[in-house]
Amino acid sequence: MAASQASLLLLKQLKDLNRHPVDGFSAGLVDEGNVFEWGVTIMGPPDTYYDGGFFSAIMSFPKNYPQNPPSVRFTSEIWHPNVYPDGKVCISILHPPGEDPNGYELASERWVPIHTVESIVLSIISMLSSPNDESPANVDAAIEWRERREVFMKKVQRCVRKSQEML
């Protein structure tokens, strides 16, 4: 039952995005037969180190969406404090609902069922614009962001160039 409600909601969100595209990203199903896995391309936000990049990601939804968040993993190489080396995105709204067992986040910062694909991707775009180096997923990137901005910028520019070559 939950899976069919989730698939109906995801199909509605896909239809809404196709009808009213949002600047900064595009999204669609990876495989027409599976509404629980989306391919997303995020354009690097203007006036950021990621400007000009086209970063691909896979958004995988649980069968009980929207009660629980999807996971998002970049398939393009990306250097960022809030992205694990394997590409998995680490932002508060993608963390399970409720209290944070580690006490870093307020329940209100974590997943709530009113989020949509659009609000998730806009949060990722915001993350690209302003990294949170307080609780990094990629410690090396966070240290460079804080202490060696020039080195950080060069690595990001390499990722941007690579993403453009993949088009």
Q: How far apart are CA 45 and CA 28, in angstroms?
A: 20
The span from the CA of 164 to the CA of 29, in Å, is 22
**Any catalytic annotation for residue 90?**
yes
The answer to whether 68 touches 97, Cβ cutoff 8 Å, is yes
Residue-by-residue DSSP string for the chain = -HHHHHHHHHHHHHHHHHHS--TTEEEEEEETTEEEEEEEEEEPPTTSTTTT-EEEEEEE--TTTTTS--EEEESS----TTB-TTSBB--GGGSPSS--TTSSS-GGGS--TT--HHHHHHHHHHHHHS---SS-SSHHHHHHHHH-HHHHHHHHHHHHHHHHHT-
Q: Which of 90, 93, 120, 128 is catalytic?
A: 90
Residues annotated as part of the active site: 90
